[in-house]
A and B are shown apart, each in its own frame.
Chain A
Amino acid sequence: MGGSSYPPLRAIYKSTERVDGMYKYILGRLIVLVPVILALTFVVFTIMYFTPGDPTAVILGNEYSEEASSHLKAQLGLDKPFFVQYVNYVAGLCQGNFGMSYITRAPVGQQLSARFPNTFKIVIAAMVFTVVLGIPIGVYSATKPNSVFSNITMVVGLLGVSLPIFWLGLMLILLFSVNLGWLPSSGMDHGFKSIIMPAVAVGANYMANVMRTTRSSMLEAVQQDYIRTARAKGVSRGAVIRRHALPNALMPTITVVGMNMGALLGGVVLTETVFSIPGTGRMLVETIKSRDTPSVLGCLVIMALCVAISNLIVDLIYAYIDPRIKAQYKKEVAQ
């Protein structure tokens, strides 16, 4: 253990041990990620492999003939048995090679790296929107549970979780682009302005969700004994909420936010279609329709990686906040 030779500095000792344990914990989780991604590529690869339709017909188009098809199959390694094809794909993936798109004849990795930033921007913007609006409103309405404001947020929250993303997107375009002319209706060429509507459309559901979760866990937290104790001891109301209730109440919220990563990425497919945004979501839809297997695989692998990594981050935050989990990974380190 790194800092164990400096017993007098207890604080440092404690923190280095924690950091060290954290590293091992992260490392362990990352190692677990590898088989998950492998299994996932296997599943997706299998689904796409058995998708009807001959990829060489797609590539050759007008030039299709039996002869050209079998020649191309050999060239692309499509004549090999299923498992050999899969192993080849994974071997390529390990070197960062996502293969060549059947339709555009360009490397899939190149397209992904050009498109993923757009998706990422929207997801991050949506998350920020979700957290920045959802948590404060949830907390505030929990501190005044029977006020008009609180009731309004409850209703808005309920309506919000039921809004279909693609419809909300269309309505936003009609209002802010067509009628008011404030925001661009499509594309990503206008910097921040381009991101607002897609992020709001995709985040509205989750904002409402986060708000509701925060509110209910906050309501529960303020009823706990230790809060009453603190109040009884004369700590001010604001301080109690900030120092005692909030950290505990935020636990479920963090889970919701983190689990939303997957749902957000699912929503991005719709938001990018509605707003014609060149991101991985629209790429996925287009390539699925044109049976461009390498591109579909690439998109799904990238998105799954995002979900897995955000799950990891949530676990880490959890571990950092919750003493019980902290104890658990300390134990793991000790073993």
Chain B
Amino acid sequence: MKRLYALLLAAMLLALTATAALAEPKDAPDAFVLGAEDNLDADIVVVQALDMVSWDPTNTSDLSNGYVINNVYGKLFTFDADLNGIPEMCESYNRVSDTEWHFKIYEGIKCHDGSILTADDVVHSLNRTKNGTAIGALFGPVNEITKIDDLTISITTNGPYPALPTALTHQACCIVPQAYAEAAGASDDWSHPIGSGRYTFNSRLIGDSIKLDRFDDYFNQDDKALNKSLTFKVIPEGSSRTIAIETGTADFNVDFNTVDYNRVVNDSNVALWRHYSQTVWHLGMDNTNEWFSNPLVRQAVNFAVDRAGCLEVGHNGQGTVMYNCATFAPTCLGAIDNPLGMYEYNPERAKELMAEAGCPGFDTEIIVFRDEAERIAQVVQADLAEIGINAQIKRIENAVFASTIAEHGAPMFVTSWGAYWDPDLFLARRFGTAGIGGVNRVWYLNEELDKLVVEGRSSFDDAARAETYKKVQEFLAVEAPECDLYVSVMFALANKDLKGVEINVERPYNYYKLHY
């Protein structure tokens, strides 16, 4: 009898796993192997939700922008699936001392205009990056960028900066040939970019599409584009992006709308790929605001929001709820899930904190610029109403988000942040003095935290650094400058025959490998 039960149970389990396997997306590999029969002359169409912003790399840190301009400009370092830096145009590098690095580029790197890239171009370009504010804080520790010889540059920092190679993967570190940068800067016309990347610029229709052609003289012939041309289509509506893949009008959707999850996961005509992510959806608060300047009110918000509800309506339940206040995705260096075990969904505790803060409730605004964020904001809005905070949701265009923040026009906002594995690459920018006017959107200022950030980068030993970052998370849990909601699973929807799909922790990437 027992055996029969066991058999039955086993059969049921098997059936369960079988059905589960049917309805599961494919896991995107970290690397794939090229087959002999593959067609490398396809025209690939990638759809995304938002348009790029500018061909000037120092202009913005917008994701949709970075993953387009990456293809046209080369960088010293590119990133792997965990967003760690790996050499691209950099042939070799070495740390001369704790504060000085040497980077040597390959010889004979050809630009799209036929010129050869030199150390002068790299120095000029990185100095532009340093002086721009798009990633100001990332280059905060950088003292000087100088040329050593025709192929080598030196970067000195004001202390140990272990994350420097990874910092160099940021889109603002795209190397723009000096001649082009100067000409474009003078005329303020960046519309016809020249770089040394895998693709040459063909054409762009603002708000609609960007067309790139394979650059056959790419310096690394072993790693050049596996498709003939790459077209980016901007389709703002989520379901239209899905339909575009289903009907074959496009090959690859990098902004998959999880609303369609159940539909496509069972559809054998398309392939849904997934990868864990470090994209943290969070509710930001302007810490200089009348009420949000009070840590108790910020804590109350952290208790009041039902994160599971946010995840369900925001990403159809595809993700992991998190109780962090410092955008440490669970896979980041030193991440703890719930620092001090402080938070849970507890409206009663939130009300107590509001009373403790002497806050009678108030009116405010939640700024959003994407559909998911707007849905999350509606959950947040309902939850906050319970503790007396009456929030209006205001939807804006993504292009004006930065300026809205700059004008203190976003007392609350819902958006996502793609965290690096190395917290040093986001902590100072997101919560430090250096990030003010940049991506310190919550306007959080605290000298103690600034010190902890410096402490975190002062060592090359990961275990020691993890300890420091634990302290940081606990410190910020009490301070509660923002309310992290969940980490979403990263998806990409593709034609079922499309090969070369790769996804990193913030977005599908390496579109140059897409082929049939």
Contacts and interface: CB of A to CB of B under 8 A. Distances in A.
Given A63-B134, A64-B403, A103-B399, 16 more contacts: A60-B403, A61-B402, A62-B133, A62-B402, A63-B437, A64-B407, A103-B53, A104-B54, A184-B244, A186-B243, A190-B249, A276-B236, A276-B240, A286-B207, A289-B396, A290-B400
B397 interface: yes
A173 B241 CA distance: 13
Interface in A160-216: 173, 177-178, 181, 184-187, 189-190
B193 to A, nearest CB: 13
Contacts of A187: 208, 233, 235, 244, 249
A185 B244 contact: yes
Contact of A177 (B189, B190, B247, B437): B247
A291 B400 contact: yes
Contacts of A256: none
A111 B205 CA distance: 7
Nearest to B439: A62
A128 interface: no
Interface in B122-137: 132-134, 136
Contacts of A189: 233, 249
Interface of A: 54, 57-65, 100, 103-106, 111, 114-115, 173, 177-178, 181, 184-187, 189-190, 276, 278, 282-283, 286, 289-292
Interface string B189-231: 1110000000000000111110000000000000000000000
B249 A184 contact: yes
A186 B237 contact: yes
B207 A278 contact: yes
Nearest to A61: B402
Contacts of A106: 189, 191, 206
A282 B234 CA distance: 12
B478 interface: no
B233 A57 contact: no
Contacts of A54: 403, 407
B406 interface: yes
In the A-B complex, the 9 residue pairs with the smallest Cβ-Cβ separation, listed nearest first, are: A278-B208, A61-B402, A57-B403, A290-B397, A64-B406, A186-B240, A289-B397, A185-B243, A290-B399
B400 A64 contact: no
22 contacts: A57-B403, A58-B399, A59-B403, A62-B437, A65-B437, A103-B400, A105-B190, A106-B189, A106-B191, A111-B207, A115-B207, A178-B243, A184-B247, A184-B249, A185-B247, A189-B233, A278-B207, A286-B207, A289-B396, A289-B397, A289-B400, A290-B396
A186 B253 CA distance: 14
Contact of B206 (A58, A100, A114, A173): A114
Given A63-B133, A106-B206, A282-B207, A186 B244 contact: yes
B55 to A, nearest CB: 10
A62 B60 contact: yes
Given A62-B406, A104-B54, A186 B207 contact: no
Contacts of B233: 187, 189
Nearest to A56: B403
Contacts of B188: 100, 105
B438 interface: yes
A115 B205 contact: yes
Contacts of B243: 173, 177-178, 185-186
A57 B247 CA distance: 41
A111 B234 CA distance: 15
A186 B190 CA distance: 28
A184 B243 CA distance: 8
Nearest to B243: A185
Contact of A58 (B235, B403, B438): B403
Contacts of A57: 403, 406-407
Contacts of B207: 111, 115, 278, 282-283, 286
Interface string B397-424: 1011011001100000000000000000
A185 B246 CA distance: 11
A59 B188 CA distance: 13
Contacts of B208: 115, 187, 278
Nearest to A283: B207
Interface string B127-167: 00000111010000000000000000000000000000000
Quick one: which of A54, A61, A103, A290 has the most chain B CB within 10 A? A61
Interface string B484-516: 000000000000000000000000000000000
B226 to A, nearest CB: 23
Contacts of A114: 205-206
Contacts of A190: 249
A61 to B, nearest CB: 4
Contacts of A103: 53, 399-400
Contacts of B134: 62-63
A321 B29 CA distance: 71
B105 to A, nearest CB: 28
Nearest to B207: A278
A173 B246 CA distance: 14
A291 B481 CA distance: 29
A231 B254 CA distance: 69
Contacts of B53: 103-104
A190 B235 CA distance: 15
Nearest to A186: B240
A190 B247 CA distance: 12
Contacts of B206: 104, 106, 111, 114
A104 B189 CA distance: 10
Contact of B132 (A63, A276, A278): A63
